[in-house]
Amino acid sequence: MNLRRLSELLGLSQTTVSRALNGFPEVNEVTRARVIAAAQRLNYRPSASAASLATGKACAIGHVVPLTEHMMINPHFSDFLAGAGEIYAQFGYEMLLRVVAQVDEADVYRDFASRGRVDGVVLHGPLTNDPRLPLLKSLGLPFVVHGRCDEEAKDYSWIDVNNRRAFYRATGFLADLGHRRIALINGLETMNFADRRRQGYEAVVAERGLEADPALVFSEDMVEPYGYRAAVELLSGPQPPTAILVSSVLPAMGVVRAMAEHGLRPGRDVSVIAFDDSLSFLQASGEGKTGEVPFFTAMRSSIRQAGRRAAEMLLEQIGAPDGAPRRELWEAELVIGQTTGPCPADRRTPVPADEGRG
């Protein structure tokens, strides 16, 4: 079904049909309703190029991936794009993905704005006090941040998970199970989300009087080999942890691999909690079935759903550019799986009498 065929079936000009679908005020409401109903019934979707001509908009959303030692092209990023792409397609928008050297990233945003290549952008991988924020504001380019760049975060639109609280809850859960030597295998802490996760972990360590050992904390790109290397170092040391908190299910898989090589079983010998983005390619067998217990105990929040919502927020901003910034902070769900259990009796250490629970 294309615009010409839809117009013929309705007995209307292509111009009238296009204007009805794109909200032009000169089309009366009866005609508009008739056109929209027919388009839905016949599964008609306007092409982005046709919509661009009709509305004067690019009908495209930009996503920029800087090439650095930290590669944003990973399963987390892919699932986010898949969710966002579903919303773009629903509203007749295309996705413009640019992969560039990090030093050229600012020039891409300037090109987007000066040439009208996109109607807005999603900012990925925000840093604390990220310099891209003032640049996008100065360009007048609508944007939504996946995450936050600062503590206040009041003058721009963003969607984020409450990372500090998620890791506060996860660390507290392990402490309640009797674990006192808890390791953190974190993401890159130049990234705002990882910095917040460490804050949550450290708050519980301080409040509960847990062992605060710098040798228990790691920070690197969240891939499986990193989790393996960190776990090997932890488990081979003179004082291995009884629990490990991992910033993604990908390095958590590496942790489990290292444990297997050391003859250790998750949940019995060492407890493991991962942050789980519900990645599409890692859906566990039987996941979601009644009575099935997931493998990893996890703080869970769907990154695909975050992609959908970020896209909706950006399109709302494009449609109402004078509206106030939108901010959404999601809470992660604690899902109990098979990888956590009480601290082994032979590894327990005395709890200080004045321990705070916070």
| CA angle (202, 207, 209) in 5-degree steps | 90
How does residue 77 score in pLDDT terms, banded at 50, 70 and 90?
confident
Token duo for residue 187: 């993401």
Give the domain extent around 184.
163-301+334-347
The C-alpha atoms of residue 156 and residue 148 are separated, in whole angstroms, by 9
User: What is the 3-state composition of the chain as percent helix, strand, coil, each rounded to the nearest 5?
Assistant: 45, 15, 40
* Euclidean distance between CA atoms 328 and 322, whole angstroms: 19
Please report the pLDDT score of residue 286 as a whole number: 42
pLDDT in tens, 297-319: 999 999 999 999 999 999 999 98
pLDDT digits (tens, 9 = 90+) for 141-200: 999 999 998 766 678 999 999 999 999 999 999 999 999 999 999 999 988 999 999 999
DSSP 226: H
What's the angle, vertex CA 138, arms to CA 132 and CA 143, rounded to 5?
Answer: 60
Residue 319 lies in a domain: yes
pLDDT in tens, 210-239: 999 999 999 998 999 999 999 999 999 999
Instruction: Count the domains in the chain.
Output: 2
Q: Is residue 354 part of a domain?
A: no
Q: How far apart are CA 270 and CA 104, in angstroms?
A: 44
pLDDT for the residue 70 = 53
188 and 294 assigned to the same domain: yes
The whole-angstrom separation of Cα 298 and Cα 278 is: 10
| Whether pLDDT at 47 is above 50 | yes
Whether residue 290 is predicted with pLDDT greater than 90 in this model: the reply is: no
270 part of a folded domain? yes
pLDDT digits (tens, 9 = 90+) for 183-218: 999 999 988 999 999 999 999 999 999 999 999 999
Report pLDDT for 68.
Answer: 65
129 & 194 share domain? no
> Is 27 part of any domain?
no
pLDDT at 29: 86
- 128 & 202 share domain: no
Residue 288 maps to a domain: yes
Do 171 and 290 reside in the same domain of the chain? yes
Same domain, 71 and 173: no
pLDDT of amino acid 346: 75
| Residue 21: per-residue pLDDT | 77
pLDDT higher than threshold 70 for residue 50: no
In this structure, the answer to whether residues 208 and 341 fall within a common structural domain is yes
* pTM, two decimal places: 0.80
Is the pLDDT at 356 greater than 50, yes or no?
Answer: no
* Residue 141 placed within a domain: yes
82 or 68, which is more confident: 82
Query: Residues 187, 266: one domain?
Result: yes
Q: What pLDDT is attached to residue 351?
A: 58
Q: Is residue 114 part of a domain?
A: yes
Pairing of strands 60-67, 94-101: parallel
pLDDT at 350: 59
Banded pLDDT at 72 (limits 50, 70, 90): very low
Q: Are residues 191 and 291 in the same domain?
A: yes
Judge if 139 and 189 occupy the same domain.
no
CATH at 258: 3.40.50.2300
Q: Return the pLDDT at 57.
A: 78
Co-location of 326 and 218 in the same domain = no
Question: If you average pLDDT over every residue of the chain, what do you get?
Answer: 87
